[in-house]
Amino acid sequence: RRQACEAGLGRVVVTMPSAWMEEMSGAATGGGEEQANRRAQHPAPEKERQRPASQGRSGEYQDEGEEGSWINTLLPFASLILTVLMGLLAWYMMKYRIARKPIVKGISTSVMLDWDITNVYEYVSTPDFRTEWHMAAVEVNGPAIDHSAVTGEVFMEELRVKGKTVEVEWGVLERQFPTSVSTQYAEFVLEGVATIGAGKGARKETWREVLRLRAGRH
């Protein structure tokens, strides 16, 4: 038999013995039958036969990809919720924050008196005399206001300031009494809660009054 194949513009003629051709054809046919017999005897697993040929390793990461997409979708919402919660917390702290201690208020002034320090101290530390020298004092009440007040004693004082009534509950916080006329320094400290105004518009403040006495040269 002769087989011919065209290559380019020429023709190539190959002459082969017929016995070779028959042997090669039989080998090809027998090889195909042998391979078919092997497949019949050893079938492929069920999952492998059902899986598409196009499915490679990418299928193994399919679940991971879906999980990542859900995270990317929920992340903006989680960020928004966190921002709202932080805003609510800041609003709550501003509205219901712990009340700060009222600011201590007072007036600083100085007076020169031609009197010995013991008499001056006795005068300014006796609550009953406050209506004579304390600014805007209208009335003083208390269980013991007729002597120099000692540490721990309390008394009430009513003031009239800019047309408003102010009631102050004073307490003696500290006192340094002059022991003699030669004492150079003495101190009388009061602290109290002042109620300014009346009714619903009333407010409270913490006041402190410090009286410092210094003796001059005789």
**Amino acid 77: pLDDT:** 83
**Residue from 188, 162, 184, 191 nearest 175 by CA:** 188
**Amino acid 109: pLDDT:** 73
Residue type, 67: E
**Amino acid 191: pLDDT:** 93
SS3 state of residue 122: helix
CA distances from 195 to 47, 130, 166, 174 (A): 88, 18, 6, 22
Contacts 24+ apart (CB under 8 A), 111-120: 112/216, 116/181, 116/215, 117/178, 117/181, 117/183, 117/184, 117/186, 117/213, 117/214, 117/215, 118/178, 118/180, 118/181, 118/183, 120/213
φ/ψ of residue 166, rounded to 5: -120, 125
Q: Which residues of the chain have pLDDT under 70?
A: 1-68, 95-107, 217-218
Q: Which residues on neighbouring strands pair with residue 191, listed in sequence order? A: 171, 208
pTM of the entire structure?
A: 0.50
Q: Which tokens hold the place of 18?
A: 């017929």
Residues 151, 172: contact at Cβ < 8 Å?
Answer: yes
**Amino acid 129: pLDDT:** 94
Distance spanning both ends of the chain, measured CA to CA: 155
pLDDT digits (tens, 9 = 90+) for 56-109: 454 544 555 566 677 778 888 888 898 999 888 888 777 666 445 555 555 677
**Amino acid 216: pLDDT:** 73
Q: Which residues on neighbouring strands pair with residue 154, listed in sequence order? A: 171
DSSP state of 217: -
